[in-house]
Structures are given as structure tokens and as C-alpha cells.
């Protein structure tokens, strides 16, 4: 059985209380527990214990990052979590510096990660409709959800982690179809695990 770390990156706003992200986290935790996996859940409401979070990442075989997309990126509290935890992890817990060495100071940048046994997946919620992606005539100029998440993917590649296909709930503020999204989410997890 695997160790699963689920990080809920939602940050509360009066117009966005986080119910969908919390529900997706709960569904994922239940899914993994029913399959016999050990699960730890972290939220941005929790006080961040940097050493514990580094331990959580080293413990995990799989990390699920659940987050809304706010202004084309993750929430500021999730970004703060990453800044604090991942910067501390550069001392050897998550990576050995940036991967370069004195013999090759211009090569191997981003290749010092030690979490090479760890897989990760993004599950995101966003206001944009699915049709805004993968179409050169729409807002994202033909880019995919993973193109939007590219900086995040690079963060985890930096630690040696391998990505699994991302999941997205689109158009959640104006045209939500929560039951359909939850069914798609469970099917996505079932396909991967």
C-alpha cells in the first residue's frame, strides 16, 4: 500500500468558501483509504510546521495537490506554503541544491531532487470554461490546463517527482455541474489507481 499526501491549497474568500475543493479532498481521502492506503491531509488553514511538512513529502509515495486557480495560479496561501516548505527542503530533504556542481556549473540545473520515488497529480477548480483551453481562438491561445500549471509542474520536477495526468473542474462559478465533476474525479482516480 502507498502513502498519500493530500494538500488542499484553497484559501477562503467570502465569494469562494472552498466547499468544492474540500469535497474533492474528502472524496480523494476516502477513495485512497478504502483501497488500503495511508492518507495525510494538509490544508492552508493549518499552522505550517515546516519540519512536519518536509517529513510528509518524504513519507509520501503520491501527492495530490488540490487547489483553485486564482488569477492564473494557485492561491497566495498555497504559494506561501511552497515558499516556506520547499525553500527549507533545498537543504537536502527534498533536493540537493539546484543540481549543479563545481565541475559542471552550467549543467544539470533542477536535477538535484531526491523524491524520485514520488508521483504527484494536480486537481484544480477554476472559473474558466473548458472551452477556453486548447482553442487558439479562445482566451488561453490554444494552451492546455497543464500549460497553465507549467510553473507548478517545474516546481515538482525540481524535487524529482513524476507527474500523473491532471484533473480540472471547469466553470465552477457560473455553470457548475458538481455531480458530474465528482463522478469524473472518481473515474480519473480509478483509472490511475
Q: How is 12-72 classified by DSSP, letter by letter?
A: -BTTB--HHHHHHHHHHHHHHHHTT-EEEEEETTSPP-HHHHHHHHHH-SEEEEEEE-BTT
Q: What is the mean pLDDT of residues 18-34?
A: 97
Number of domains in the chain: 1
Q: What is the mean pLDDT of residues 5-22?
A: 92
> Over the stretch 87-141, which tens digit does the pLDDT of each residue have?
999 999 999 999 999 999 999 999 999 999 999 999 999 999 999 999 999 999 9
CATH code, domain carrying 14: 3.40.50.360
Q: What is the mean pLDDT of residues 147-158?
A: 97
Whether 111 contacts 154, CB under 8 Å: no
| pLDDT score, position 13 | 85
| pLDDT score, position 40 | 98
Q: Which are the contacts of 27, defined by CB distance < 8 A and separation ≥ 6?
A: 182, 185, 186
| pLDDT score, position 16 | 83
| pLDDT score, position 192 | 96
| pLDDT score, position 12 | 83
Total H helices, total E strands in the chain:
6, 6
Range of the domain at 136: 3-192
Whether 23 contacts 81, CB under 8 Å: no
| pLDDT score, position 133 | 98
Amino acid at each position: 500500500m502507498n502513502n498519500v499526501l493530500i494538500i488542499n491549497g484553497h484559501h477562503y474568500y467570502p465569494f469562494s468558501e472552498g466547499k468544492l475543493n474540500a469535497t474533492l479532498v474528502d472524496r480523494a481521502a476516502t477513495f485512497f483509504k478504502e483501497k488500503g492506503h495511508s492518507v495525510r491531509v494538509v490544508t492552508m488553514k493549518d499552522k505550517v510546521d515546516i519540519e512536519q511538512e518536509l517529513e510528509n513529502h518524504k513519507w509520501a509515495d503520491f501527492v495530490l495537490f488540490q487547489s483553485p486557480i486564482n488569477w492564473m495560479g494557485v492561491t497566495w496561501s498555497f504559494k506561501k506554503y511552497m515558499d516556506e516548505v520547499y525553500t527549507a527542503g533545498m537543504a537536502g530533504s527534498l533536493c540537493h541544491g539546484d543540481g549543479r556542481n563545481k565541475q559542471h556549473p552550467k549543467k544539470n540545473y533542477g536535477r538535484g531532487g531526491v523524491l524520485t520515488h514520488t508521483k504527484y497529480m494536480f486537481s484544480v477548480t477554476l472559473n474558466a470554461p473548458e472551452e477556453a483551453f486548447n482553442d487558439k481562438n479562445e482566451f488561453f491561445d490554444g494552451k492546455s490546463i497543464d500549460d497553465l500549471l507549467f510553473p507548478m509542474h517545474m516546481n515538482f520536477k525540481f524535487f524529482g517527482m513524476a507527474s500523473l495526468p491532471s484533473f480540472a473542474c471547469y466553470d465552477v462559478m457560473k455553470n457548475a455541474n458538481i455531480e458530474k465533476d465528482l463522478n469524473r474525479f472518481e473515474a480519473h482516480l480509478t483509472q490511475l489507481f
